[in-house]
Amino acid sequence: MWPLPWASWANQSNLLKQNARSGYLGECFLSLGDDMTNQIAVWLGVFILGALMLDITFFGTEHIYFLGKKFFTFLEWLAFWR
């Protein structure tokens, strides 16, 4: 016996039109839009690096070092639960 949302999902006629980018949300699909292009990736990288440079210039590196250590500790914790 399937739960009702999955039963209605299996009966949709446009099931074949959906792809891996679609997420299931209730009884409809959530389309995530277009793929990330190279131009978007480059501008995102430039923005992140610029923000880091401004942060280091005005506030130093102590808190970035602290957050980096905590981030890698968190990654190790996630790897344990894999």
Rounded CA gap, 50 and 40, in Å?
Answer: 15
What is this structure's pTM?
0.49
From residue 16, alpha-carbon distances to 20, 28, 79 in Å are 11, 14, 34
In this prediction, residue 76 has a pLDDT band, given cuts at 50, 70 and 90, of very high
* DSSP one-letter code for 22: -
Identify the helix (H) or strand (E) that includes residue 28.
strand 28-30
Domains of the chain: which residue ranges?
1-33, 38-80
Query: Phi/psi zone of residue 26: left (φ > 0), alpha (ψ -120 to 50 degrees), beta?
Result: left
Q: What does the pLDDT look like over 11-41, one tens digit per residue?
A: 555 554 555 555 555 556 555 667 889 999 9
* DSSP one-letter code for 17: G
